[in-house]
Amino acid sequence: MVKGYSKYSDLELFNTLKEPKHEAELAFSELYSRYNQRIYAYCLRVTGNPDEARDIFQDTFLKFYKSAKSDRQVTNVPGYLLTIARNLCLNFKRDRKETVSFEDFHLSASSDSSFERKEYLELIRMALELLDSDHREAFVLREYQGMSYAEMSVLTGVSVSALKNRVWRAKEKIKKILSRYVTEVSKL
Amino acid sequence: MSYSDLIHKYFDGELESEEVLEETLFDALKSDADVRQDFTDHLRIRSLCQEDMTSITTPSECTQNVFMQLGFQIPGAVTQQAAVNGAAVAPAVPVSRRFMSYAITALVSSLLTIAVFMFALDSGELLTAEGDGTNDNNEAENSLASNKNTLAAGRSEIPVVRNILSDDASADSRSSGDVRSASAATASESVGDQALTQQPAETEIAAQERQGGFEGISSTNTSAISTADAAASDIQASEAFPAEEAPIPLQDVPDNDERSIPAVLASAMLPSAGNAPSAPQIGSREARILGTVGISLPVNENLPFSIAYRRIASSTNPNPRLTTDVVVSDPLLDNALSLVYNLSPQQAIGIEVSREAYGQEFTATVDGRPDQLVRQSPSYYWVAALYRHRIQEWELAEQLFPYFQVGLGAISSGESLGKFSGGMMRLVVGSQFFLTKNIVVNGGLEVSGISYSTSDLLETSYNTGFTYGIQVNF
């Protein structure tokens, strides 16, 4: 975090990106420090692929900086970042084929009942990959990003009720996957 | 509505406004194990998701790629954050490696600077002292020093110079002329420049040194002596002042005067061997308090070059090696000019040149007369490769950042007294306050050290002081 700019709001920093390079760099560093983890987490969990997530993440911030230089008006900086990341994720999804099948997951998951917490984390990540992309995205935005349904609706352009339904279905599916292989969830 | 729906709504925070449904859910949780299991599963999933979220860390290579492609410096805070999160990140680059390139740059620049300074600019003829006898002729040395100061005064057109050449036989053998009154200074004005160029006198002096044994007098001093003698000879030839007239043993040289550097150094570099106290050597342990006022004017923000100018004030403290008669002189003002290449908003390298003076007042035996007050302000040129770093991550107060500057370079008297040269290191530790993005006020403490060789002795000096100034960005 760049302490000299830490007191500024997101919008002030975003507007500073239009300034000469020195000020822009400091503002960008501050914004990056605030949101890099959140954006990368979104990319990683939505794509389920670290390599794709890295590419999308980098492109997200590069596009973000360039668009800020082009005098774009933004009112919600993290939302704008997520919008860029989401669009890039959609582009990646369009260009690739889903490769993880339920059977693959079955083979890779342990049926041992003595799960450690770390293994549960790995299991829920893999369960996420089994979700339909729309359900996965809704679940990630809700449970990982902590966004409200209204915010999610603005970001995705999907109605609140549809998003609630997606999240509900995602949770039920994850529960089902987890309960299928873990009989001792309650012991966590 | 099923209990599963109620659980979903509960975790979405939608049951807070519907107390009846919330009561219904709580009742079911008390009585129904399946509902409790479902509720617990929801809770676990949320907990796992949050834990998973915090465990995710941006790979360091992503950060590097982003900042590199934007032409920015990679912020250290990102790496620190990753380390705190405990995620697998690329090993942090050691500090020594991070600054290695800059250190190498500074070192190479310094070596080049020293080489240029010592060889390219050294146009003087140097003599070597070959005397093999003991140097017990201290009065002769003092008288020679007096001659040098006379010459210095002549060059600077200082009207009040009272200098005495010794009647010592050795001195007479080299320099048969004496300066006895203030009017001699006027005479010296007309011959000072000429005297400085009279190299044949050096041969004569060298020969006499071999005969008389001026052991311990360096070639620098010998060179100075030769020019001083030549000047004195001319003075005597034109004025022929009697030796007994008006011996006023006070050499009054104003601070930071405009004397030529060789002449000033000739007066400064009195040999330490012999009957001290003589002039305190630069390499003695005198401490100077430095005050620096500077203005830095970046040429163009998009061009990473800056031109900086600053004034340096210094004063000399008593030399503990000398008697208590040595007193502190008034502060002297000097100028420094630097060209800086900004590697980033935080880091810069450059080169800085200056002529730095120090003042001194002391008593010495002049023309055989002890305890005569002598005032001098000799100076030398220095040039240094500098590295400046503002620690952007540490904000001491609002818009106040610490910084440090390291300089490594060389000192030299330059011109014909090229033997007086050595190394120098300077360190400034302070802070910079951004009044606006274009105006920066800085201040801090400065430590500098010089090392040089004179009279075949390696001398060192460590100085402390303070620095403050203003920087304007256009």
**A168 plus A128 within the same structural domain:** yes
Give yes or no for residue B192 having a pLDDT over 60: no
**A151 plus A135 within the same structural domain:** yes
Name the residue of chain B whose CA is nearest to A145's CA. Answer: B53
Cβ atoms of B365 and B142 within 8 Å: the answer is yes
pLDDT of B340 reads 77
> B65 and chain A: CB distance < 8 Å anywhere?
yes
pLDDT of A54 reads 92
> B320 and chain A: CB distance < 8 Å anywhere?
no
Give yes or no for residue B430 having a pLDDT over 80: yes
Domain C-terminal end among A95, A115, A148: A95
| DSSP H helical ranges for A70-148 | 77-95, 102-108, 117-130, 133-139
Cβ atoms of B413 and B438 within 8 Å: the answer is no
b/e B111-123 (16+ beta carbons within 10 angstroms → b)? eebbeebeeeebe
Q: Which pLDDT band holds residue B464 (cuts at 50, 70, 90)? A: low
| Bridge partners (DSSP) listed for residue B206 | none
Domain with residue A45: its CATH number is 1.10.1740.10
**A88 plus A147 within the same structural domain:** no
> B128 and chain A: CB distance < 8 Å anywhere?
no
- List, for residues A81-124, the tens digit of each pLDDT value: 999 999 998 888 777 655 444 444 443 444 444 456 777 778 88
Q: Which residues of A touch B38 (CB under 8 A)?
A: 175
Q: Is B412 a domain residue?
A: yes
**Which of A54-58, A180-184, B288-292 is predicted least confidently?**
B288-292
**B280 plus B357 within the same structural domain:** yes
**A117 plus A155 within the same structural domain:** yes
Q: Which of A28, A45, A120 sits opposite B70 (nearest CB)?
A: A28
Domain C-terminal end among A95, A111, A132: A95
**Closest to B451 measured CA to CA, from B409, B417, B414, B416:** B409
Cβ atoms of A179 and A111 within 8 Å: the answer is no
Omega prior to B277 cis, within 30 of 0: yes
Q: Which of A21, A32, A58 sits opposite B78 (nearest CB)?
A: A32
- List, for residues A125-159, the tens digit of each pLDDT value: 888 888 888 899 999 999 898 888 999 998 899 99
**B320 plus B205 within the same structural domain:** no
pLDDT averaged over every residue in chain B: 58
Give yes or no for residue B389 having a pLDDT over 70: yes
Give yes or no for residue B199 having a pLDDT over 90: no
**B113 plus B144 within the same structural domain:** no
Domain holding A72, by residue range, is 8-95
- List, for residues A157-169, the tens digit of each pLDDT value: 999 999 999 998 8
Q: Residue A45 and residue B56: Cβ atoms within 8 Å?
A: yes
In 3-state terms, what secondary structure has residue B140? helix
pLDDT of B352 reads 85
Q: Tell me how many domains chain A contains.
A: 2
pLDDT of A62 reads 93
> B401 and chain A: CB distance < 8 Å anywhere?
yes
Q: Residue B70 and residue A65: Cβ atoms within 8 Å?
A: yes
pLDDT of B104 reads 66
Q: Is B260 a domain residue?
A: no
- Can you give the three-state secondary structure of B112-126, one letter per residue? HHHHHHHHHCCCCCC
Q: Is A46 a domain residue?
A: yes
First-to-last alpha carbon distance for chain B, in angstroms, is 68
Q: Tell me how many domains chain B contains.
A: 3
B212 Cβ neighbours under 8 A, 6+ residues apart: B131, B133, B137, B170, B173
Q: Is A133 a domain residue?
A: yes
Cβ atoms of A60 and A88 within 8 Å: the answer is yes
Q: Is B253 a domain residue?
A: no
- List, for residues B329-339, the tens digit of each pLDDT value: 555 666 777 77
Of the CA atoms within 13 Å of residue B123, those in its CB half-sphere come to 4
- List, for residues B78-130, the tens digit of each pLDDT value: 444 444 443 333 334 445 555 565 566 666 666 665 665 555 444 433 333 33
**A21 plus A88 within the same structural domain:** yes
- List, for residues B31-78, the tens digit of each pLDDT value: 888 888 888 888 888 888 888 888 888 998 899 889 888 888 776 544
Q: Is B258 a domain residue?
A: no
> A23 and chain B: CB distance < 8 Å anywhere?
yes
Q: Is B262 a domain residue?
A: no
Cβ atoms of B215 and B156 within 8 Å: the answer is no
Domain C-terminal end among A58, A77, A95: A95
pLDDT of B451 reads 73
Domain holding B425, by residue range, is 101-120+272-472
Q: Is A136 a domain residue?
A: yes
Q: Is B251 a domain residue?
A: no
**B293 plus B406 within the same structural domain:** yes
Stretch 149-178 of chain A: residues touching chain B, C-beta under 8 Å? 149, 164, 167-168, 171-172, 174-175, 178
**B173 plus B277 within the same structural domain:** no
**Residue that wins the pLDDT comparison between B188 and B28:** B28
Q: Which pLDDT band holds residue A57 (cuts at 50, 70, 90)? A: very high
**B69 plus B108 within the same structural domain:** no
**B215 plus B290 within the same structural domain:** no
Name the maximum alpha-carbon separation found in chain B.
Answer: 126
pLDDT of A182 reads 61
**A132 plus A109 within the same structural domain:** yes
Q: Is A31 a domain residue?
A: yes
**pLDDT (average), residues B431-451:** 73
Which stretch, A38-52, A97-111, B349-363, B401-415, has highest mean pLDDT?
Answer: A38-52
**B109 plus B159 within the same structural domain:** no
Q: Which pLDDT band holds residue B357 (cuts at 50, 70, 90)? A: low
Domain with residue A164: its CATH number is 1.10.10.10
Stretch 76-135 of chain A: residues touching chain B, C-beta under 8 Å? 117, 120-121, 124-125
